[in-house]
């Protein structure tokens, strides 16, 4: 096998999650979001295989629309929803997060764990704001610098793909300037990274044992090595935001 994209998707197929996070963190951020309607309308943007979707559906007793561009992720989510008895409250949709096909005011809660960076923090806040009903909340987790002077190795990894990456202070200022109230921020703990990277590392080693190219697998696993070296310089921060 010589195609990096194919190796990447083999490594990621069926993983529990596609970004740092945990059920505990999802539940914490949901509590920080405050009171919601009895049966809230929830949108999970960039849902992946649905680790947050299922928690949101179960804890809120609402209906969750889970959106992703990668249909195999949504197929896994559908299977998981059926297995947990939540299929009647989870709807999946293949759609781009930049142009979500919903009417203004359609949701009481918009959720995006580890996905807003695809658009960029500012663009996500602007694009999704009209979809919020009066009094609604946006919760997202965002890749951020934890120091104003990150190591060159960390910059070399992050900046080509996400040159707009900021510190928490920078994102708080940007959100406030764009007309949002920052209700809470929360830096995800290291255990949330382990919940993502542990299964990915195990999958990479299984593929290596199957004879998949070491060079390609090293590229797929580069982010794990960068995290081990420079994890103190960056992280994911949860944001709970309300439009002013």
- What pLDDT score does 232 carry? 97
Residue identified by tokens 């510190």 is: 167
The Cα 69–Cα 62 span in angstroms is 23
Helical (H) or strand (E) element with 144: strand 132-145
Mean pLDDT by 10 residues, the chain (244 residues): 86 93 97 96 97 96 96 95 96 97 98 95 98 98 97 96 95 98 98 98 97 96 97 98 97
Helix (H, G, I), strand (E, B) or coil at 95: coil
113 in Cβ contact with 23 (< 8 Å):
no
Question: Residue 49 has which token pair?
Answer: 């295989």
Q: Which residues contact 176 (CB under 8 A, 6 or more apart)?
A: 182
Is residue 167 within 8 Å of 17, Cβ to Cβ? no
Do 232 and 147 meet the contact criterion of CB atoms below 8 Å apart?
yes
Question: Do 129 and 100 contact (CB within 8 A), yes or no?
Answer: no
Looking at residue 2, its pLDDT comes to: 64
Q: What pLDDT is attached to residue 157?
A: 96
Domains of the chain are 18-190+235-243 (3.40.50.150)
Closest among 109, 116, 140, 126 to 174, alpha carbons compared = 126
């Amino acid at each position: 096998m010589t195609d990096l994209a194919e190796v990447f998707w083999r490594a990621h197929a069926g993983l529990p999650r596609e970004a740092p996070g945990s059920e505990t963190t999802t539940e914490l951020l949901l509590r920080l979001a405050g009171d919601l309607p009895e049966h809230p309308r929830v949108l999970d943007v960039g849902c992946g295989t649905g680790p947050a979707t299922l928690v949101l559906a179960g804890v809120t007793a609402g209906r969750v629309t889970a959106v992703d561009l990668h249909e195999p992720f949504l197929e896994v989510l559908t299977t998981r929803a059926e297995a947990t008895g939540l299929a009647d409250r989870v709807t999946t949709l293949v759609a781009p997060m930049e142009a979500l096909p919903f009417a203004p005011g359609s949701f009481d809660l918009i959720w995006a764990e580890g996905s807003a960076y695809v658009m960029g923090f500012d663009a996500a806040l602007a694009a999704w704001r009209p979809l919020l009903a009066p009094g609604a909340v946006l919760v997202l987790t965002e890749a951020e610098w934890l120091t104003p002077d990150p190591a060159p190795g960390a910059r070399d990894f992050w900046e080509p793909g996400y040159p707009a990456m900021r510190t928490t202070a920078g994102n708080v200022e940007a959100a406030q300037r764009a007309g949002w109230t920052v209700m809470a921020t929360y830096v995800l703990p290291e255990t949330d990274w382990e919940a993502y990277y542990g299964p990915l590392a195990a999958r990479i080693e299984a593929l290596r044992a199957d004879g998949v190219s070491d060079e390609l697998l090293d590229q797929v696993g580069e982010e794990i090595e960068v995290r081990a070296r420079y994890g103190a310089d960056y992280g994911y921060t949860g944001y709970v935001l309300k439009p002013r």
